[in-house]
Structure 1
Amino acid sequence: MHTRKWSVDVFLSEEEDRTHAIARLHTAAGELTADGTARRNPADRDVPEIGDELAAARALSALAHRLLDTVVGDIEGVTHRPVHLDR
């Protein structure tokens, strides 16, 4: 059995009513990065954890889509045929 470790870092920053997240996947082959943003409605209570969670979720979702796009490109590079993955 061969075990590999991948890690994901999520960086969060907040400015006024916006929270921005960057998700970075580290693998032996390299790195993929995606981002996400959450904006608080001025009428809502200021609960930073909610903005962090939403921005991080959006960044991780975008990262998952980037990884799927990478997989498609890798498969097409090997098979020389179009690939359509179910998402």
Structure 2
Amino acid sequence: MQTRNKIFDDISQLATNAMGVAQGAREEAETAMKSWMDRWIADRDLVTREEFEAVRAMAQKAREENEALKARIDALEGKA
């Protein structure tokens, strides 16, 4: 009976080790894929969301300033 428990213990240990190896391989694959995607995106010169939002805000501010200046020009031309 003692031999049988030893076999089950060995099988259990083997399964536990295999799960650890599988989890390590999964983490390594995820890291490699993320690194590859980061390089791919960097090579494409894509902008980040933060950069896009900053340029969008600058464009909106420029439009508002242009409208204000146009209204001012129209008012000055109307007085002349």
User: TM-score category by the smaller chain?
Assistant: 0.3 to 0.5
What's the TM-score once normalised by structure 2's chain length? 0.42
Decide which structure has greater helix share. 2
Between structure 1 and structure 2, the one with the greater Rg is 2
Structure with the larger RCO, 1 or 2 (CA within 8 Å, 6+ apart):
1
What's the TM-score once normalised by structure 1's chain length? 0.39
